[in-house]
Structure 1
């Protein structure tokens, strides 16, 4: 599933609403913590694309369709800017600069790659069966690349 984003801050709210609407057809309930985490990360990555590139972007979601206890959600934002994403360290009074730190803290994996004339920023969130403990540790953000949507239902809209 994908959504084209205009370089306009109003698109961030539209992207959040779109992501919530996509959850309705997936194995992720709108009230489970993974859904809120996903929407927060959508907000952060789309904000970064809109604010820092001034270019149109594309938001893609790969959501599990089966009611499996474990699944992976993949989120990607591609844009036409060649500028690499740079995590910043925000002071307590700063109104910005925390987006990639949030992504790093919330996602199980994330990274970026050059994509044609721009770049792709991606992250993955693992949904684990509540009866199984989460794996200890996770790779640092941006260190591992992962093939697009293996084992997930994917639909281009």
Structure 2
């Protein structure tokens, strides 16, 4: 798990991976909007989706990072995009950018911050980021394991 790519998610898209369509929302860069980002996941996937809990958690982390660590949190906005297919879910969060690239920095056990991207790295199947035109897009993808027909679970 946790393959990182400093590339657009389209560069990681598997051949023949048909997306069911995107839900996209542009949100003000305020802490109250993290719950709206989670609501977008609910609207896109529904609570019964097998990847729902992980997608909500990771989306919360990216939305929070956009507000705390970029110009989005200083009166700007950020965009959340959720795309799903039969086999995977991809979320992109585009923010107002910052002076530094996203970092999977290791923190001390006592630190109350700095665990967002390590969590993305640990739980996602693929993730990455792009920086262009002053904005940063951080994305992750989770794949749904398929159980063969006739196998008891």
Match of 1:15 in 2: 37
Q: Deviation at 1:38? A: 0.4
1:74 to 90, 93, 109: 90
Match of 1:61 in 2: 82
TM normalised by structure 1 equals 0.71
In structure 1, the partner of 2:101 is 84
Higher relative contact order (CA 8 A, sep 6+): 2
Superposed CA offset, 1:45-72 (max 9, x none): 00000110131110101112xxx4xx12
Tell me, which stretches of 5 or more residues in structure 2 are unaligned?
A: 1-22
After TM superposition, the structure 1 = structure 2 runs for residues 118-129 of structure 1, keeping only pairs within 5 Å, are: 118-129=135-146
Deviant stretches of 4+, over 6 Å: none
Partner of 2:40: helix, strand, or coil? Answer: helix
Q: Distance in 2 between matches of 1:32 and 1:84?
A: 32
* Structure number having the greater strand percentage: 2
**Unmatched segments (≥5 aa) in structure 1:** 25-29, 133-157
Supply the distance in 1 between the matched residues of 2:108 and 2:101 (Cα, whole angstroms): 22
Between the two proteins, the alignment pairs up a number of residues equal to: 122
Cα distance in 2 for residues equivalent to 1:118 and 1:52? 12
The more displaced of 43-52 and 116-125 is: 116-125
